[in-house]
Structure 1
Amino acid sequence: MAAAQKEISVSEFFAKNRHLLGFDNPRKALLTTVKEAVDNSLDACEEAGIVPEIWVELVAINGKRYRVSIQDNGPGIVKKQIPLIFGKLLYGSKFHRLQMSRGQQGIGISAAGMYGMLTTGQPVKIISKISVRKPAHYYEIQIDTKTNKPEILNGRGDGVDIPPGEKGRKYMEKHGIDWVAFYEGEDGQPGKEIRSGTRVTIELEAKYQRGRGSVDEYLEQTAIANPHVTIHFTDPDGNTTIYRRSTTELPPEPKEIKPHPYGVELGRLVTMLKDAKSTTLSQFLTGSFSRVSPAVARRICEAAGLSTRASTRKIGRAEADKLYEAIQATKISAPSTDCIAPIGESLLLKGLH
């Protein structure tokens, strides 16, 4: 019996339980894939202070297989990060930050790629560039579900660097690599060159339908809720719908905050005490939590029967339990709301119009 026990990787678990990630059925899988990629694009653009423009293209390969491509004009991704972002579950920059964002766990887009690999056997294709003067990086990646690590299938396992300019354009044309190179200009003519951005392409088993809960509805609602974005959507029939931005004003950047004491459970408090860099209990409370001033920290310590100068390294499980109970019994102001960036009435009205 013991010999049959073995460790299961997170990728292997989700590969067998894909419904937990939003891939319950082919129709929902298509919507989830588009949503995860668009959310990533919006977050990347807003964090870089770029007014976002997004291209979404759905191509029907046959009755139940589709190729989904999403491109943005964001800051692009540095080369060494691309395989990890798209080929490793639970890899991201937002999980440990208490800050409003569309995605947090580092699962979404890599899970979409894994679903595509499982249903079609095709890798995720990514092209990203950070400048018009620097090479674009092109990868074909799939997740090794046993190790939760990316497997790079092109460029002898290291991807391909595509040179800028005409030479790079010819290379992409020769190898069938799609990239929207210019913004839309007047009278349908090419406008300014897109200086940076990322394009991800996933081939997957899916079902495209219009109406409630569809990709069309999601993109329309996204355009309303984000009036600063322009979305170009090409459906499987080849029809293109453009949701044009009604403002170039980006939403205010949400602020990162520390956890509020009321929201921390006992086990988490014990871990925080164990990992604390601060030396005294008072420093720990004021430095690790929001809305805890020295005066509030003193009241918590008094209620727990602990010294404000007690060393965090010497706080045992019994003392931590008393500290937790004291936190719950102490009146502490509610968290600050500047960690949330609402759309605002004026921008929402612009989106609706």
Structure 2
Amino acid sequence: MMEPIEPDERAGESTEGEVTAARRPRLSVRLLGLLLVIGSVVLATYLVVAYFAFESGRALQVEQETTARTEQINRQVELAREDLTEGSPHLALTRLDWVLTQDPGNPAAQAMRAEAEAAQGATRTPRPTEPPEATPEGTLEAAAEGEPRAELQAIRRLVAAEQWEEALPLLLALQQRFPDYERGETDQLLYDTYLGLGLTYVNSDKVEIGLNYLTQAERLGDLPQEAQDYRLWADLYFQAVAYSGVNWEIASDYWSDLCAVAPFYQDSCARFQRALIGWGDQFAYYLDWCPAQRIYQQAWNREPTETLGAKLGEARAGCAAATPIPITGTETLTGTAPLTPTEPGG
């Protein structure tokens, strides 16, 4: 009998090895596919969770902004009511006009505005003017008396029409030439003129001139509450301007106070927003991301913009990557650096 041929056995073994080798890549492909499927599921789950978290955060931010805006509007309506009670209809109208720009359909502001307009009209009732009298003939004394009376008549008309700029030089000239003529009335007219000019200029870009006129008015009589309020707001304004670009933290505190009590004055709320961003930029300049994130977030909650969103995202990433480094013999670094006035404002 003949023995089995060895090459045939080797051939069988070779075929079996080839099959096993062919199965290995297939298994690898299947495992890779399974891993890709699992990875896709995990990624999809993460994206869904992240999306809902983002939407939830955005909804919360919108709710916070709406709540803050509603509180500020209600506060201004309340202050306008106090202004009417204290006899300051002009300031009440200023507050109510701001409220109606923010919330045109506000029923309380609309009703109160009509009341404030009526009160302001009552306070602007012109002073009774004397009819022009013919100068008696034949006496020099009567002629001299007729000159200041005519000038005073013209000044009365100007003051009643709130033409303060035209009335002021005539009043000063009249008092200089005739210091004892109707002094009580001319002082009152001068007080009204100084007060009107002060309130006009303190609401413009010439705040210092307005404050000077209010000081002149105060020498002739007590200032009404409206003028006192504007003088306080002007002081906050000057302090905020002085620190803006130098120390954004202090500047933002002043702008915040001014925005809270008088959002209509000197664009205070927009300036507060710019101060917050400048403060955040100051921290970001030194790569101090965690405090920058906190400040950017505050600014974002007030007024979200695309540019601010990019800054906030960068600060979040930087803060997340930051790691406190303990130093022997000292306190652990907190990731905050002191503000310095050397970094230019953003």
Shorter-chain TM-score: what band?
Answer: under 0.3
Rg comparison, structure with higher value: 2
TM-score, length of structure 2 as denominator length: 0.25
Higher relative CO (CA 8 A, sep ≥ 6), structure 1 or 2?
A: 1
Structure having the larger proportion of residues in strand: 1
TM-score, length of structure 1 as denominator length: 0.24
